[in-house]
Chains A and B, each alone.
Chain A
């Protein structure tokens, strides 16, 4: 976040929109108006745990008196949405960045909006903008079930231009069939899970359609907050070293003067691959196969850790 432009905003209302989805309105704690924004924009919110989370703005772009966001409580996420749901309510103060837009609505002769779940949020102001510009649009809104889908009431007025696709009623979403009828000059805007995005992307590639997308995705970095310390024993030098939380095996043994070639620092390239004599590695690389992970004979010591109190490594 940027101290120069962050604002302290007060939650002035919180209400439930659907199963596990809450809507928040945030207003300035002072009299300074908020900057206007464009459809597709998001803000970064700093939570009291220190977590930073990005949420699309779903209110009106020229409303300089408040921002609106809608957040789904994700029990499998990194914890930000749980913290927001469980600890933030009217009166709470939040540190909020200025709006940023990486999902800008570009002029087109027609739009097809595809929203998956809470991915509906940036699409709502886009619909208003398309309407204002007089550009034809349609929306396909996919969710688990109607009760989990926010804003259905707000979308009701658009009639057949909105296709609501609850998977428990309509079955799995099939982008190929749905996109078959889309005209070549239509721009597709998609916001949702990585798997929805990929499916839509594949069809757009096949059909040469312009696609813009925003992905709702957790960081690929593993959660390191629960890392524990463990020991590594090195067969060549006989050294026994303690790997602390926050340090890698590689750093630890290099700091102890043992030379190990390494290159990517991310478990990608395989340069630091090390033979495991005994112990149970906690694999975090992206290069070994699932079978190799299960076998546990090799490990990438730049990122992987240990499930057992001690690893014996051929180094």
Chain B
């Protein structure tokens, strides 16, 4: 797909997609804080200043789909489309309001605090099993393992199914593509969506309603009341896995990558474990898992540079670029575990679509960092080369070779 644009970023440039985007994002923020992209599909704007992105994310009337439609026109009939129509992150009011209100209360910070012990256990178990002083893959051995406990606990998934369930999960990310899928990609999305719908249908049927976990039980009760249809029940189960696994895995991998490569941070946290909570915010600010979220405007938006983005426009909120905005964050390209306003980062988005699982993610990151600092004295990158998925939106680490020492 070629896009003529006045943005310094080339979406098709693989060096940009897999690389360190610090310079490209700085360039974008300074030169074109509201960059117009000319695509065949719709008027597209890249917004990269913190103040603008924050305001856009918080607009209650802005939508994640164009006005009047619930699915992209290119996503034709099939399991992918059915899944999309019930996907929390991709629906608008009134559907989004209805879906979210069924589950939102269960993810309040004070309620998910009970998941801390499970998270700590998962982190401790993973870290106990990695080798000392010899190279291992953080993504596979730690980041993939930590979310398992919480997700299996919430959904009642047998832990034996974890491998098979996560093996194909990456393919499901096609559903978040801001660009039309090729026929092959569309077929893959249908296949993987059907796989998950079938898996969760089987899981529901495997036991009576009152033997399910409280989360699943609340979904079934909502279906009983007529507040959810069956596809929505299955989708809200899959969402816990999809959103809870991919992003948590990537946030943990990113954090460990920074601890292993940025001098001083790991030592500072070892010496001052009380800084871990804020350091988690700082690491999410510095390297968030998701770089872009989309909105469609239903009212004009006046950006800080004086540009008016018209109603109807398709906007890419450049979360990762906004997180390095020097007008909000002093010395933004430095990691400062005690940064006073670190939690103003936009890694979890904002507004009505703010990440539902954010407090769970925070707990898992905090407990992982705690276990790492209590177990190891030094973290260093291993010798193997490693890379990220070449994705504009979600450049997750494919692997991360690490050598950890406890001596």
Contacts and interface: CB of A to CB of B under 8 A. Distances in A.
A102 B69 CA distance: 8
Interface in B309-349: 310-312, 340, 343, 348-349
B70 interface: yes
A198 interface: yes
B300 A263 contact: no
Given A44-B311, A214-B68, A265 B58 contact: yes
A135 interface: no
A178 interface: no
Contacts of A264: 58, 348-352, 354
Contacts of A217: 93-94
B231 interface: yes
A306 interface: no
A201 B96 CA distance: 13
B105 interface: yes
B223 to A, nearest CB: 12
Interface string A165-208: 00000000000000000000000000000100110011001101
B94 A263 contact: no
A261 to B, nearest CB: 6
Contacts of A100: 311-312
Interface residues of A, number: 44
Contacts of A315: none
B343 A219 contact: no
Nearest to B55: A265
Contacts of A211: 70
A104 B356 CA distance: 33
Interface string B349-371: 11111111011000000000000
B70 A269 contact: no
A146 interface: no
A254 to B, nearest CB: 10
Interface in A253-300: 259, 261-266, 268-271, 273, 286-289, 292
Nearest to A275: B110
A2 B68 contact: no
B350 A2 contact: no
A100 B354 CA distance: 29
Interface stretch (B19-27, B33-41, B59-67, B152-160): B59-67
B50 interface: no
A111 interface: no
B287 interface: no
B94 A286 contact: no
B386 interface: no
Contacts of B349: 264
Nearest to B308: A2
B343 A261 contact: yes
Contact of B105 (A194, A262, A287): A287
A287 B108 contact: yes
Contacts of A194: 93-94
B352 A205 contact: no
A266 B229 contact: no
B179 to A, nearest CB: 20
A208 B354 contact: no
B107 interface: yes
A52 to B, nearest CB: 7
B377 interface: no
A287 B104 contact: yes
B68 A263 contact: no
B61 A273 contact: no
Interface in B146-196: none
B54 interface: yes
A107 interface: no
18 contacts: A2-B300, A52-B299, A102-B69, A198-B94, A201-B70, A201-B95, A213-B70, A217-B93, A220-B60, A220-B93, A263-B348, A266-B354, A268-B351, A270-B107, A270-B359, A273-B110, A286-B97, A286-B352
Q: Which 10 A-B pairs have the closest CB atoms?
A: A264-B354, A102-B67, A270-B108, A102-B68, A194-B94, A214-B68, A103-B68, A269-B354, A266-B351, A287-B104
Interface of B: 54, 57-58, 60-61, 66-70, 73, 76-77, 82, 85, 93-95, 97-98, 100-101, 104-105, 107-110, 229, 231, 299-300, 308, 310-312, 340, 343, 348-356, 358-359
Given A201-B85, A268-B351, A270-B108, 18 more contacts: A102-B68, A198-B95, A208-B77, A208-B82, A215-B68, A217-B94, A219-B61, A220-B97, A221-B60, A261-B343, A262-B343, A264-B352, A265-B57, A268-B353, A270-B110, A286-B100, A286-B104, A288-B108
